[in-house]
């Protein structure tokens, strides 16, 4: 039996797929970084979440039996692919699993920014029946949504936003006009053009050296005054101090943030204290369907590797010929 360590809940469907070949060895009830590293020493494979420390030499030095590392979701910025490759470890992700819940989360944040649902609910629970004047929101119909990134998740956000009657524009140099048109989206050639006219700006791009800190004081100043920013992508894309200042000054009217530069973020983070910010703890993909899809996708990929078959979604294909093999 091969040993699988997992960092998150493991769906029963995945357990059933792997039952004849795999022993499950994680996680502890209250996992911490040291527990994770101690447990993974025995693992042949690991299913990991966003905060697993897969970018340090210490992890790979302790995980001498590890052959497969599968990131449950799409983003893999917590994994050092070069280091994993040097150690002969196959790294995969499950990119389709979080599409629907993350897109729905972006739309939920947009809806809650347009209508003061969270605040008025809190007021009512506190015994306050505020006047309609003090609870005034606005319709999404006719508003412009600017998508920075039009991949799986951005494309699905576009489809939903179109149903609300929003005008959807996007910047994505990797998407052609024909695909954008099929999604009901108008492509713009420059980010500044998107910032200038969008009532809502929603980020859907990975954390890379070229995207880190791209939402900063300079780009925030280019945005339409009174616009709203939504981030369900990666926290490192946004310079949080600059966003807080833009919200204080009124340059932006509000923000919906599910991801943070450092996770978990400090409760003292000014963005968590602002009334015009909806703050959530990286929960966009947290739904039953996503868990089931991610786990079964990962399980089927792992079974393929057991059989020496090249799996889909292998992020470091150069490792394949020199990979650590299952005996």
How far apart are the C-alpha atoms of 253 and 227, rounded to whole Å?
Answer: 6
Across the strands, what pairs with 201?
A: 146, 229
103 and 92: one domain?
no
Domain coverage including residue 164? 99-279
**Rounded to the nearest 5°, which phi and psi values hold at 160?**
-70, -40
Same domain, residue pair 266 and 298: no
Looking at the 3D structure of the chain, how many domains does it have?
2
From 41, 263, 275, 289, the catalytic residue: 263
CA geometry: angle 99, 167, 170, nearest 5 deg:
55
Are 47 and 4 a contacting pair, CB within 8 Å?
Answer: yes
CA distance 56 to 82: 11
Which pLDDT value is given to residue 119? Answer: 87
20, HSE (Cβ side, Cα atoms, 13 Å): 3
Structural domain contains residue 327: no
Exposure pattern of 198-209 as b/e (b: 16+ CB <10 Å)?
Answer: bbbbbbbbbbee
Q: Which of 262, 279, 296 is the last residue of a domain?
A: 279
Secondary structure element (H or E) that encloses residue 194, with its range: helix 191-197
Same domain, 266 and 175: yes
327 residues of the chain, pLDDT tens digit each? 999 999 878 999 999 999 999 999 876 655 565 666 778 889 999 999 877 777 788 888 989 999 999 999 998 888 999 999 999 999 999 999 999 999 999 999 999 999 999 989 988 999 988 777 778 999 999 999 999 999 999 999 999 999 999 999 999 999 999 999 999 999 999 999 999 999 999 999 999 999 999 999 999 999 999 999 999 999 999 999 999 999 999 999 999 999 999 999 999 999 999 999 999 999 999 999 999 999 999 999 999 999 999 999 999 999 999 999 998
Residue 55 pLDDT = 78
Same domain, 223 and 300: no
Q: Given this model, what pLDDT does residue 56 score?
A: 82
pLDDT of residue 28: 60
Token pair listed for 275: 């009334």
Question: For this structure, is 204 an active site residue?
Answer: no
Residues 167 and 215 in one domain: yes
Q: Which of 100, 234, 240, 323 is catalytic?
A: 234
Is 47 part of any domain? Answer: yes
Read off the CATH number of the domain in which 223 is found.
3.40.50.720
Strands 2-6 and 22-24: parallel
- One domain, residues 123 and 239: yes
Residue 35, pLDDT score:
66
What's the CA gap between 236 and 230, in Å, rounded? 14
Is 282 a residue of the active site?
yes
In a shared domain, residues 148 and 52: no
Confidence (pLDDT) at 238? 98
Q: Is 263 a catalytic residue?
A: yes
Distance CA 74, CA 261 (A): 17
Long-range contacts of 63-68 (CB under 8 A, 24+ apart): 63/37, 63/87, 63/89, 65/3, 65/41, 66/40, 66/324, 67/305, 67/323, 67/324, 67/325, 67/326, 68/44, 68/92, 68/302, 68/305
- Provide the pLDDT for residue 31: 58
* Model confidence, pTM: 0.92
Domain co-membership, 132 together with 185? yes
> What DSSP state is assigned to residue 138?
-
CA 61, 64, 65: angle at the middle one, nearest 5?
155
Q: Report pLDDT for 77.
A: 86
């Amino acid at each position: 039996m091969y040993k699988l360590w997992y960092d998150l809940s493991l769906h029963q469907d995945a357990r059933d797929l792997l039952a004849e070949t795999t022993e499950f060895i994680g996680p502890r009830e209250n996992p911490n970084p040291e527990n994770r590293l101690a447990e993974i020493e025995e693992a042949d494979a690991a299913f990991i979440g966003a905060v697993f420390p897969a970018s340090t030499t210490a992890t790979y030095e302790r995980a001498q039996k590890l052959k497969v590392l599968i990131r449950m979701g799409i983003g893999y910025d917590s994994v050092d692919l070069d280091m994993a490759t040097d150690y002969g470890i196959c790294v995969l992700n499950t990119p389709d699993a979080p599409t629907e819940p993350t897109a729905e989360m972006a739309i939920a944040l947009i809806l809650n920014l347009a209508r003061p649902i969270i605040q008025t609910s809190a007021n009512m629970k506190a015994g306050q029946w505020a006047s309609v004047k003090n609870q005034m929101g606005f319709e999404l119909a006719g508003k412009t949504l600017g998508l920075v990134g039009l991949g799986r998740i951005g494309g699905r956000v576009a489809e939903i936003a179109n149903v609300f009657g929003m005008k959807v524009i996007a910047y994505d140099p990797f998407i052609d006009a024909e695909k954008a048109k099929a999604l009901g989206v108008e492509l713009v050639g420059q980010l500044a053009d998107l910032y200038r006219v969008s009532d809502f700006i929603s980020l859907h791009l990975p954390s890379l050296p070229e995207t880190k800190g791209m939402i900063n004081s300079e780009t925030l100043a280019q945005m339409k005054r009174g616009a709203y920013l939504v981030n369900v992508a990666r926290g490192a894309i946004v310079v949080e101090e600059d966003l807080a200042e833009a919200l204080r000054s009124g340059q932006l009217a509000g923000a919906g943030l599910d991801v943070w530069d450092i996770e978990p973020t400090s409760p003292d983070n000014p963005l968590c204290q602002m009334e015009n910010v909806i703050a959530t703890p990286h929960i966009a993909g947290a739904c039953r369907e996503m868990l089931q899809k991610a786990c079964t996708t990962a399980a089927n990929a792992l079974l393929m590797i057991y059989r020496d078959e090249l799996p889909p979604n292998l992020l470091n294909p150069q490792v394949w010929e020199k990979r650590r093999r299952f005996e």
